[in-house]
Structures are given as C-alpha cells and as structure tokens.
C-alpha cells in the first residue's frame, strides 16, 4: 500500500492537483468565501501531510519533505488564495504592510 501511494505522489500532475483543489473549493455547499479559502489551504496541507505520513516517515520531523512532482504545491495554493475569485474583500485585506 505504501509503495502504491509513493508512486501516486511521484507521478502526480501539479496542474491536475491545483485544478481539482480549486474546483472542490468552488463547489462547497453554502458557498462562503472563507470556506473556499480554507478548503484550498486545507487540501494543500492535507496532501503534503499525507505524503509525510505515508511516504517519508523515516526523515527528521524538522525537515520539510516534499514529493518532486508537488514541490510547487504551496506556491500554487498561495496563488489560488490571492486570485481575485478567492481574495477577501474586507478592508483588512486591502492594507499592505511593508
């Protein structure tokens, strides 16, 4: 089973993972913006945590381990959160720091 998961992570398509994450966020019941944003970040965290737990458990806990095919997943998740469709419209989000 672990080998099968390892192969799936190694051959994952970044484009399909990001597309699926965005579609799942858009189809949430209730349709709140906060829930969609949480779904996008939760999907990225869950995917990488699953890889860590099932495929890279022998490495140090302080070391960040990412599958080669999904190294850009955190960047894609951040880009999805900053796109206009998922960007919050509150005044606190308009303030730029730095």
Q: Where are the domains of the chain?
A: 2-94
Q: In this predicted model, what pLDDT tens digit does every residue of 32-68 receive, in sequence order?
A: 788 888 888 888 888 888 888 888 777 777 777 788 8
Q: How many CB atoms lie under 10 A from the CB of residue 72?
A: 13
pLDDT of residue 12: 82
What 3-state class would DSSP assign to 85?
Answer: coil
Please tell me the distance from the alpha carbon of residue 73 to that of residue 19, in angstroms, as a whole number.
Answer: 11
Cβ atoms within 10 Å of 34's Cβ, excluding its own: 10
pLDDT-derived band at 26 (thresholds 50, 70, 90) equals confident
Q: Rounded distance, CA 74 to CA 9, Å?
A: 15
Joined tokens for residue 34? 């906060």
């Amino acid at each position: 089973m672990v080998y099968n998961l390892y192969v799936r992570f190694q051959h994952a398509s970044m484009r399909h993972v990001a597309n699926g994450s965005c579609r799942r966020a858009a189809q949430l019941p209730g349709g709140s913006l906060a829930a969609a944003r949480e779904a996008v970040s939760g999907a990225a965290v869950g995917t990488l945590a699953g890889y860590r737990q099932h495929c890279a458990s022998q490495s140090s806990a302080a070391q960040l381990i990412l599958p080669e095919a999904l190294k850009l997943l955190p960047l894609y998740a951040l880009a999805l959160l900053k796109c206009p469709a998922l960007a919050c419209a509150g005044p606190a989000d308009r303030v730029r720091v730095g």
